[in-house]
Amino acid sequence: GEDVEQSLFLSVREGDSSVINCTYTDSSSTYLYWYKQEPGAGLQLLTYIFSNMDMKQDQRLTVLLNKKDKHLSLRIADTQTGDSAIYFCAESMGGYQKVTFGTGTKLQVIP
Amino acid sequence: EAQVTQNPRYLITVTGKKLTVTCSQNMNHEYMSWYRQDPGLGLRQIYYSMNVEVTDKGDVPEGYKVSRKEKRNFPLILESPSPNQTSLYFCASSSSRTGAQETQYFGPGTRLLVL
């Protein structure tokens, strides 16, 4: 079955860039997502990328996709304390198909 | 305000006592789904619904039922809860014409403890 893996924890200093990595196994994935979960809250869709794209940039966020290696990354430029949260990578075949989530990476931003 | 609401937010119950967690959205979304979140396992999809009267199993449907009689509501039913269903549950809805679930909204979560 599908599997999405992430490292559990990342710590960065405020102002530095953060890079959160994710690998997935389902080569038929059409959409890859990044979600943010702040403490005690639900999930917020941050951004997504189509599988035929290599990169997508949205303000401080840059998503890179290496489809050959099934590797997805989220780069947060100028990381702020408000970026401290758990970040989930997810994949889907699109439309109303089910979404498979990774285990989440907890980002800690040190002031 | 666009939102997904869940009730109750917290629930402690005992094994075998039927319960329902309600989910409602005010955005006229076609697609709704239920997830459970457990430490080290991320979110796993329980059931999803593509529209009224159209539902399908996700990754972990055992022990759960759903119904979609109205577009706005998608209740999650535990007919006979067991301790392994202790978890944090999220409902989500989206209206995706492009297929990317770009506008997926999550509810605030329901924390369930089954004794």
Portion of chain A with pLDDT greater than 70, in percent: 95
SS3 A30: coil
Cis preceding linkage at A111, omega within 30: no
The rounded mean pLDDT for chain A is 90
Burial class (CB in 10 A: 0-12, 13-18, 19+), B67: middle
Torsion sign, CA atoms A104, B106, A85, A73: positive
DSSP tag of A82 = G
What's residue A26's pLDDT?
79
Spatial contact of B76 and B34, defined as CB atoms under 8 Å apart: yes
Hey, of B34, B43, B88, which one would you mutate to test binding to chain A, going by the most A CBs within 10 A of its CB? B43
Distance from CA of B65 to the nearest CA of A (A): 17
Query: What one-character-per-residue DSSP string does B54-97 give?
Result: EEEE-S--TT-EE--SSSSB--EEESS--GGG-EEEEEEEE--S
Q: Identify which has the larger pLDDT, A90 or B100.
A: A90
Determine the pLDDT at residue B100. 58
Chain A closest CA to B3's CA: distance in Å?
A: 11
Of A42, A50, A103, the CB nearest to B40: A103
Ranges A20-24, A92-96, B29-33, most confident: A20-24
| Interface with A, mutate which of B96, B101, B105, B110 (most A CBs under 10 A) | B101
Judged against a pLDDT cut of 90, whether residue A61 lies above it is answered with yes
Residue A31 has pLDDT above 50, yes or no: yes
CB contact under 8 A, A98 and B59: yes
The pLDDT of residue B99 is 57
Q: How far apart are the C-alpha atoms of B13 and B82, rounded to whole Å? A: 10
pLDDT band at A1 (very low <50, low <70, confident <90, very high): very low
A4 near B CB under 8 A: yes
Average pLDDT over residues A15-26: 94
Q: Cβ contacts (< 8 Å) between B74 and chain A: which residues?
A: none
The answer on pLDDT for B9 being more than 90 is yes
Cα–Cα dist B1/A30, whole Å: 31
Rounded-to-5 percentages of helix, strand, coil across chain A: 5, 55, 40
What's the confidence (pLDDT) of residue A42? 83
The 10s digit of each residue's pLDDT in B40-90 is 888 899 999 989 999 999 889 999 999 999 999 999 999 999 999 999 999
